[in-house]
Structure 1
Amino acid sequence: MTVVVVGSGIAGLTAALHAHERGHSVVLVTKGRLGDGCTPFAQGGVAGVYGPDDSAEQHAADTLDAGAGLSDPRAVAALVQDAGARIAELIARGVAFDRSPDGRLLLGREAAHRHARIVHAGGDATGAAISQALVGAVRSTEIEVREHALLVDLLVTDGRVHGVRLLTDEAVAEREATSVILATGGAGQLYAHTTNPAGATGDGIAAALRAGAAVADLEFVQFHPTVLVGDAPFLVSEAVRGEGATLVDEDGRRFIFDTHPDGELAPRDVVARAIARRAAEQGSPVRLDATALGAERLAKRFPTIDRVTRERGLDWAREPIPVTPAAHYLMGGVVTDLDGRTTLPGLFAVGEVARTGVHGANRLASNSLLEGAVFAARAVAALEEPWPFVPALPVDSVSDAVSPIGLAPFDRAALQRLMWDDVGLLRTDEGLRRAFATVRAWIASAPAPRTVAEHEDAALLLVAEATASAALARVEPVGAHYREPAGDLVGPVLETV
């Protein structure tokens, strides 16, 4: 069997390795270099190691709570049941998770987890350690790697996916396959402010949409609460708050408790909105106060953050640092079953590009790396099984929208500002309709893409249209999708990033 895997984060690398080890002929395609994507930037860890008072059942309960009632319990059960095996596999492949002097895995706690159950590597460099180990494992095999190859489209005949169309060096090439596994990540570049790298342009979701695969839950965009304010957004891990850092306003007051009894460890969407509101009210960023942890502990536990903050002229051991939310993770994506199968036979989706049902309306911290590894392994195990019917979720279409007045010419920055303002943290009906109409108008006037950048723009526009439509269709606010009552929006949001 020939398997094409598109993407080289944790999900794509895991899928490629498992497929190769099962004897399949594997082609691993990546838009940039092998190992690019969001995985190397992940400061948080991998949830799923349970202490004496913890269990998979409690991990599942926390995941379901964070998902605001919209997670699929079956998908969550699959996630937590396979967690131990996937973490053990990462260790076997060379990921050196942090350990105590007696050799035990060190376990951290992050927001909305009731127990410390998260393993880290290099303090705050977990993703980089995982990426390095898995890239090394792939390089040591006969897996064919195609770098600098952009996914343009899926090849579909008679309703079945049988390959991919790629753009390499401005030339288009096709690659046939028995099965295609999408692992292209999310679409953080939809937004003016994001923790995602430049390549997160929704290519896989757009290709799946064009091919006719079902997508769902695109309205659920998670904004990470704490990104260092500056020209180049830099994520400050949630684990910092897990270790005891607090959020304070310009008066030094811990304002989060006004919103949620768990304070800084409330679900991400709650914390992010509270930060956005307080920053808008006071006209300046809120601050993360980690001074109580001390310089030695901060440098040892968070060496990357410690280095970057100091490079930017900040001493976070002595004074609070300015932070603000930024687009971080997409809970929705291409609809799959519990084994990564989409509604198109021959097409699998794993990792952030997929909508497995695990995250519901809000992702629990440190479940994303785990999800990528778990469902990549499950997808490969299902490669040779008969293709079952995968029901598509109902999609509500939107036909009426506020017509754009004085439509500005399209460029990526204009799209990102529009999405940030109108389909971001705090949404209104009017703003969503304006965004939907504007994106549709841009799509209608867009020329056929030719270059890599133009194909990325086309993908972003298509995903933006689907995201605005989904946000309009879901009238009730839930989880990361928050719609303001008319007249309640508090000024411009987060212009301080």
Structure 2
Amino acid sequence: MLYTDVLVIGSGISGLSYALKIAQKSPEARITILTKADDEESNTKYAQGGVAVVTNFIQDSFDKHIEDTLRAGDGLCNREVVEIVVKEGPERIKEIVEWGTIFDKDDKQTYDLGREGGHTVNRVVHFKDITGAEIERALLEAINKYKNIQLLNYHYVIDLITEHHIPNEPFNKYNQNCFGAYVLDLKKQRIIKMSSKITLMATGGCGHVYKNTTNPLIATGDGIGLAHRAKAKISHMQYIQFHPTAFYSRRSGQLSLISEAVRGFGAKLRTASGEKFMHKYDEREELASRDIVARAIDSEMKLRGDDYVCLDCRHLDHEKFLEHFPNIYQKCKEEGFDMFKDLIPVVPACHYLCGGIDVDIYGQSTIENMFAVGECSNTGLHGANRLASNSLLEALVFAHRSAMKTTEKLNSDNFQYNKIDKIPEWDQKGMEVSKEMAILNYLRKDLQILMSDLVGIVRSNRRLEMAKQKEEEIYKAVKELYHLSILSPQLSELRNLVSVAWLIINQSLEQKRNNGAFYNKDLN
């Protein structure tokens, strides 16, 4: 067994900033960060637009940001949480700047603020069109300065350790403790017990439960799958935000994101034949919230039988556009499209999960000593639909609050050491190394297709019932493979994706009205 004081699962903005805070407050604490890929790969890295935060108190205000967030969340936001995130945001931005993050400034050396859908004023701080990558760079450099932080690449978490893993221990799903995790060391191909006093889930999203997503390959809902098996409370999974403008490709998998900030800059949406259409759906047109724009695009594609719509940037100032979006422009060029000459084909793609592991205002889940921060958590900030660029701000604020509560817990020294010693080794005796990767790939693709076709932007009761039946068939096949095979990352990811799909489908069936990112055509 390996011992650590704090176990951080995930190396994006949530996990890294949380670890930094604890290292600063508790220099004697041992902090271990696990990531299943290399340390730079995370959802944070692919965040283009920036961080929504009030910095200009002349044109903007906390009240304006709060109201924009509540409006986007369509009545389901927790107002207390919204106020916490918005009002604590400026201080958290100041901290990551002190850690080395660079944001674009104008000629007057004030932040060059962008604007995205759902915002009534310009308030998004950014670095070109690679804000997430810049934040990730700065945080990793800061992490390397602390000797009490260990970052382990290529370590995949198989299961959280709670009472149900301990022989003869009474099991009560309403009174669970987390004691760490079983971890697969991918390089040494062995499963180890990792004991911790506090565990943080910072695993990001679940985009690859769908066929097309803007998320990186690592976004397979691992944190939610782990928490679901550990009996944590998980909610609002029916609220999947589809980004309106991902670059259209015939290939499944991660699609290139064309930031909402491009529409904030003035780009217009057109049908494949070149006609404008957003005026038919919302008076804000291209600057309506993401759920409205995504459904409008979906509607136009279905009405016309087209595979995509187009984004028109041809009328924009070329020099200023390249200054703001050099990487998006280059990516389109690599795909054979000049944004200044051509209409750019775009489609909605799974982008962001608005629900997740339920947490309180300090990031504490319903499992004792387990916190969750970032996209895998349900804080109540987003409600039924996320306001653009609020996610990185939420991650910073809740990482800070979780770190402060963690430090308080570490100082209290109230941990059940007698139970930790009872945790058994992971047993894979008698199991075989699966040689059937074709089966795993088939089941994963089958799951993604059913979710995309039956549980997508527009749902119906019949589609959801069909999805429930098909998901049950896939679940049974995966369960059989799990009991026969030595665990691999591919099999573990599939287990987690199946759990995520089950939660989305069942919570969609329970939903009785349309709001935010959720739309069932059988509901009025």
TM-score by length of 1: 0.91
Distance 1:442 1:253 in 2: 42
Aligned to 2:286: 264
Aligned to 1:472: 509
Distance 1:101 1:53 in 2: 18
Identity of aligned residues (%): 38
Task: Pick one of 240, 247, 268 that aligns with 1:246.
Answer: 268
Distance 2:406 2:60 in 1: 34
Distance 1:133 1:310 in 2: 29
Would you say 1:220 and 2:239 are equivalent positions? yes
Q: Give how far 1:369 is off.
A: 0.7
Aligned to 1:495: none
Give the SS at the match of 1:160: coil
Q: Give how far 1:136 is off.
A: 1.1
Would you say 1:152 and 2:158 are equivalent positions? yes
Aligned to 1:287: 310
Distance 1:409 1:124 in 2: 33
Task: Pick one of 255, 261, 268 that aligns with 2:277.
Answer: 255
Task: Kindly provide the amino acid, as one letter, of the partner of residue 81 in structure 1.
Answer: K
Would you say 1:67 and 2:73 are equivalent positions? yes
Task: Kindly provide the amino acid, as one letter, of the partner of residue 151 in structure 2.
Answer: V
Q: Give how far 1:375 is off.
A: 0.3
Give the SS at the match of 2:159: strand
Task: Pick one of 105, 114, 139 that aligns with 2:144.
Answer: 139
**Which range moved further: 357-366 or 31-40?**
31-40
| Conservation of the 8 A alpha-carbon contact between 1:298 and 1:317 | no
Give the SS at the match of 2:294: helix
Task: Pick one of 228, 236, 249 that aligns with 1:209.
Answer: 228
| Conservation of the 8 A alpha-carbon contact between 1:50 and 1:56 | no
| Conservation of the 8 A alpha-carbon contact between 1:219 and 1:332 | yes
Task: Kindly provide the amino acid, as one letter, of the partner of residue 171 in structure 1.
Answer: R
- Residue ranges of structure 1 left out of the alignment (5+ in a row): 388-407, 489-497
Task: Kindly provide the amino acid, as one letter, of the partner of residue 263 in structure 1.
Answer: E
Give the SS at the match of 1:292: coil
Distance 1:115 1:299 in 2: 22
Give the SS at the match of 1:108: coil
Aligned to 2:31: 26
Q: Give how far 1:253 is off.
A: 2.6
Distance 2:477 2:111 in 1: 55
Distance 2:272 2:208 in 1: 30
Aligned to 2:178: 161
| Conservation of the 8 A alpha-carbon contact between 1:49 and 1:119 | no
Distance 1:435 1:250 in 2: 30
Task: Pick one of 4, 7, 10 that aligns with 1:4.
Answer: 7
Aligned to 2:115: 109
Q: Give how far 1:384 is off.
A: 4.3
Distance 2:384 2:372 in 1: 19
Give the SS at the match of 2:375: helix
Give the SS at the match of 1:382: helix
Across the two proteins, how many residue pairs are aligned to each other?
A: 466
Q: Give how far 1:140 is off.
A: 2.1
Distance 2:158 2:370 in 1: 15
Distance 2:62 2:132 in 1: 23
Aligned to 2:437: none
Distance 1:252 1:410 in 2: 38
Superposed, which structure 2 residues align to 1:296-335 within 5 Å? 296-335=319-358
| Conservation of the 8 A alpha-carbon contact between 1:294 and 1:317 | no
Aligned to 1:120: 126
Distance 2:441 2:61 in 1: 53
Q: Give how far 1:409 is off.
A: 10
CA offsets per residue over residues 57-96 of structure 1, 9 Å max, x none? 1101100100000010011111001110111111111111
Q: Give how far 1:102 is off.
A: 2.4
Task: Kindly provide the amino acid, as one letter, of the partner of residue 445 in structure 2.
Answer: A
Q: Give how far 1:251 is off.
A: 4.2
| Conservation of the 8 A alpha-carbon contact between 2:447 and 2:474 | no
Give the SS at the match of 2:157: strand
Task: Pick one of 427, 432, 435 that aligns with 2:464.
Answer: 432
Task: Kindly provide the amino acid, as one letter, of the partner of residue 187 in structure 1.
Answer: C
Would you say 1:347 and 2:370 are equivalent positions? yes
Superposed, which structure 2 residues align to 1:320-469 within 5 Å? 320-385=343-408, 411-446=443-478, 447-448=481-482, 450-469=487-506
Give the SS at the match of 2:315: helix
Aligned to 1:85: 91
Q: Give how far 1:410 is off.
A: 5.3
Task: Pick one of 197, 203, 228 that aligns with 1:184.
Answer: 203
Q: Give how far 1:49 is off.
A: 2.8
- Residue ranges of structure 2 left out of the alignment (5+ in a row): 164-169, 171-175, 411-439
Aligned to 2:521: 484
Would you say 1:237 and 2:242 are equivalent positions? no
Give the SS at the match of 2:65: helix
Distance 1:320 1:296 in 2: 18
Distance 2:234 2:219 in 1: 17
Would you say 1:53 and 2:52 are equivalent positions? no
Distance 1:437 1:384 in 2: 45
**Which range moved further: 168-177 or 186-195?**
168-177
Distance 2:387 2:461 in 1: 27
Two-structure CA RMSD over aligned residues (Å) = 1.7
CA offsets per residue over residues 143-169 of structure 1, 9 Å max, x none? 111111111111113621111111112
| Conservation of the 8 A alpha-carbon contact between 2:270 and 2:311 | yes
Task: Kindly provide the amino acid, as one letter, of the partner of residue 162 in structure 2.
Answer: V
